[in-house]
Amino acid sequence: MPVLKSETRIKQIDTTQEATNASEYASGDVVYDQNDGLVRHNGSTFEGIQANFEGMLIKTGIVEKLSNLGNTSMTLEDYDCSASQVFYNTGTVNWRVNLINFEIPTYSATNVVVIVDQPAASAYWPDEFTISSNSVRSTTFQTVLWAGGEAPTPTTNGIDVFNFTIFKLTGDTYYVLGQMVPFKGIG
pLDDT, residue 49, reads 45
Find, among 25, 51, 21, the residue nearest to 36 by Cα. 51
Determine what percent of the chain is predicted with pLDDT higher than 90: 45
Separation CA 146–CA 164 (nearest Å) = 9
pLDDT greater than 90 at residue 102: yes
pLDDT, residue 115, reads 94
Identify any residues that bridge with 77 across adjacent strands, giving them in sequence order: 97
pLDDT, residue 130, reads 94
Give the model confidence (pLDDT) of 27-55 as tens digits: 777 777 666 667 777 777 777 644 444 55
pLDDT, residue 148, reads 95
CA dihedral 37, 43, 45, 51 (to 10 degrees): -60
Q: What is the mean pLDDT of residues 106-131?
A: 92
pLDDT, residue 71, reads 75
pLDDT, residue 30, reads 75
Residue ranges covered by each domain of the chain: 1-58, 66-183
pLDDT greater than 50 at residue 156: yes
Separation CA 158–CA 54 (nearest Å) = 40
Q: What is the pTM of this model?
A: 0.71
Kindly list the strands in the beta sheet with 46-47, ordered across the sheet, starting from the edge strand earlier in the chain.
12-13, 30-33, 37-41, 46-47
pLDDT greater than 70 at residue 166: yes
pLDDT, residue 114, reads 95
pLDDT greater than 50 at residue 187: no
